Amino acid sequence: MSSKDVTHSVTCITKAVVQHYHQAWKDCDLDAVMALYHPQIEYNDFFQNKAFDFKQLRDYVRGSMPLEPQEVLEHTDRIRFDGDTAFIQYRITLRGGPGLVSFRSSEAITVRDGLIWRINEYASLIHEQRSDQAKADSRPATSRLGLSARQLGMLASDLQEYFANTQPYLDPGLSLQQVALATGYSRNQISYLLNQVLGQSFYRYVNHQRLKHLLLAIEQFEQTAKVDDLVFAAGFNSLSAFYTCFRLHLGMTPKAYLKLPVEAQNALRTLG
């Protein structure tokens, strides 16, 4: 058999294995995916700067696989084959907040003995950025913080749940360190989520939670209640911080808001 024939034969085997792998991921079939890994597989996730062996891969794959209706894995290019190597490109969106954890990924897959022997995975987080520099910094920062797609989504979900259930924003002296200790994440991880993904500072995020709390309080209290009293009860430490936050999120003054019909207030409160 000529070298050309050998290369063609190897490419055919690679194609069959990787197409099967591709379909197993589309079907979210964890067992089928695992069955295609070589016992001595080397899986390199360069987004997290981590390497996984066969024993570690099941949990890793389960955590990366879209499992809920709103989660999506969309392949964005045809699979390319070259001898014992294949290249796959895709976009994956995992739960954890509205549009927060969407990644563009590519994998270089090496096949040996009819099984996947090595995968080098590269990914970049897709989200709105304020500058080209921020785009350039997004992958390295997330990698250094050890945040996978699923982990970043869970951080967003956990933070939202913590603020909703515990209402820590009612403390006017709430700090990033307190939130980190309460949620079990590091200050750097929370800062990355807020600054690079949500595009806001910690204090802007906290004041937004205070504003939402206050708007509900205004609806529930009698018209005679003083707004200033509700401001400080919601955790704002100054009236100026409250007025700035109000204009930022609702585009008007509190006085103008209170003059609106109830239906308009309800609509703005949802947006705010």
- The structure tokens 């209640």 sit at 225
Domain locations along the chain: 3-130, 145-271
What's the confidence (pLDDT) of residue 79? 93
Question: Across residues 176-180, what is the average pLDDT?
Answer: 94
Which CATH number fits the domain 145-271, given the four candidates 3.90.1170.50, 2.40.50.140, 1.10.10.60, 3.40.50.800? 1.10.10.60
Q: Is the dihedral of CA 202, 203, 204, 210 positive or negative?
A: positive
| Residue 92 main-chain phi, psi, to 5 deg | -125, 135
What pLDDT score was predicted for residue 178?
95
Instruction: Please give the pLDDT value at position 119.
Output: 96
Check pLDDT > 80 for residue 24. Answer: yes
Q: What pTM value is reported for the model? A: 0.55
Report the first-to-last Cα separation within the chain, whole angstroms.
70
Radius of gyration of the chain (CA): 25
Rounded to whole angstroms, how far apart are CA atoms 108 and 46?
12
Determine the distance from the C-alpha atom of residue 76 to the mean position of all C-alpha atoms in its chain, rounded to a whole number: 20
- Whether the pLDDT of residue 140 is over 60: the answer is no
pLDDT of residue 251: 83
What class has domain 3-130?
A: alpha beta
Token digits of residue 224: 């005679």
Task: Give the mean pLDDT of the chain.
Answer: 82
> Could you tell me what percent of the chain has a pLDDT over 90?
41
Q: Who has greater pLDDT, 78 or 71?
A: 78
The string of pLDDT tens digits covering residues 142-169 is: 555 666 666 777 788 789 889 999 999 9
